[in-house]
Amino acid sequence: MQKPREYTVIGLMSGTSLDGIDAALIRTDGADSLTHLGFITIPYADSVRDALRACLGRRVDNDGTVARAEALMTMAHADAVRALLAQTGVDAADVDLIGFHGQTIMHDAPGGFTWQIGDGDLLARETGIDVINDFRTNDVKHGGQGAPLIPLYHRAMAASSGLDLPVAILNIGGVANVTWIGADGRLSAFDTGPGNAIINDWTRQQTGAEFDQDGQLAKSGTFHNGLVRGWLGHQYFRVAPPKSLDRDAWHIIGDLVGMSAADGAATLTRFTVESIAAARDHLPEAPKAWYVAGGGRLNPVIMDGLRDVLGVPVHSIDALGWNGDAVEAEGFAWLAVRSLLGQPLSVPETTGCKIAVSGGRLHPAPGKTMRVG
């Protein structure tokens, strides 16, 4: 039997924390084969971050704000590709494909709407590499939540790591999401609730810093248990998965009026921790361990809180030899190959789509011919 072709792919991820661009270079067949070739993180310039922040929550672009931000962030992604290629010594002509997640500015799965901005044609022209973007729309069209999309990649990675299943792979970005992987390969996945975004917003409002570095602000405060318990009464936590959230689903910062910056950070951080713990009620079976990816794993207050409330081992995903910063970017590189081959990106167990569906839109680079299969 002929071995499936492997592709050299760049994955680009910019999460709802608005911190910057993760760019990963891998070689993969979009299934079991995966070689890590390089990774880089490029922080957003303040001008790009501010332009993107002005787009959050929009469903239409009636004044050109989104178009201007899209051009800026696409060019920033092109720069990230060039930086990654320079770091790895790989020529753009040797890269088959870019998986370009784009920047989510609005996600309303119950309303059948999701919007990740990013100009695939512009990125293909700038880099000379074929681009696939718009990964979520087709899932939503088929009744899915459009998120999370990385669980199939998590399962492939877990299989290669020989984990003692069942386990939970937790990603704490702007929003937190979990992938539960059973001993038989069964999956369950959903957004658990807030991640870093609301903590970042509070920290920025109170101190001017973009995020709570090492959880120092939260560590110096005391959380308000009554507020946390009240927020956990939100109906979202009672809804069975699949389910997903927009970055700005939680309008609760107003509840912190009169609270110190440190106590507010501590309270929001504890809410993230407790909402992740609440997700256990919706998992098919208790995980033997939790492995944490994303920026949240670098916050000791979050990690120590999770160890306190989950009652099983909680590790950074780096303990498996994975790069916890790169997982999402690598995942979209892997998904880009699957999109090119017409293979599923999501299944009913991960997003609630009616059937397993592929997705994504291909933007060919000028003058380049892709060989598929």
Binding site, annotated residues for ATP: 15-22
Taking phi over 0 as left and psi of -120 to 50 as alpha, with beta for the rest, 304 belongs to alpha
- Cα separation, 139 vs 345, in Å, equals 8
Q: Are 179 and 223 in contact (CB under 8 A)?
A: no
CA distance 27 to 220: 44
Question: What is the gyration radius of the CA atoms in the chain, in angstroms?
Answer: 20
Say how far apart CA 101 and CA 38 lie, in whole Å: 18
Residue ranges of the binding site:
15-22
| C-alpha atoms less than 13 angstroms from C-alpha of 79 in its C-beta half-sphere | 14
**Amino acid identity of 57?**
G
Beta strands in the chain (DSSP E): 7-13, 20-28, 34-43, 97-100, 103-108, 113-117, 131-133, 167-172, 175-181, 187-194, 290-293, 314-316, 361-363
- Sheet with 314-316, edge to edge strand ranges: 187-194, 175-181, 167-172, 290-293, 314-316
Structure tokens at 56: 């959050």
Report the SS3 class of residue 86: helix
Nearest Cα to Cα of residue 179 among 57, 354, 331: 331
User: Residue 280 has which token pair?
Assistant: 């256990």
Q: For residues 310-338, b (16+ Cβ closer than 10 Å) or e, as one string?
A: beeebbebbebebbbbbbbbbbbbbbbbb
20-28/34-43 β-pairing = antiparallel
Query: Residue 68 to residues 45, 63, 127, 340: CA-CA distances in angstroms?
Result: 15, 10, 20, 29
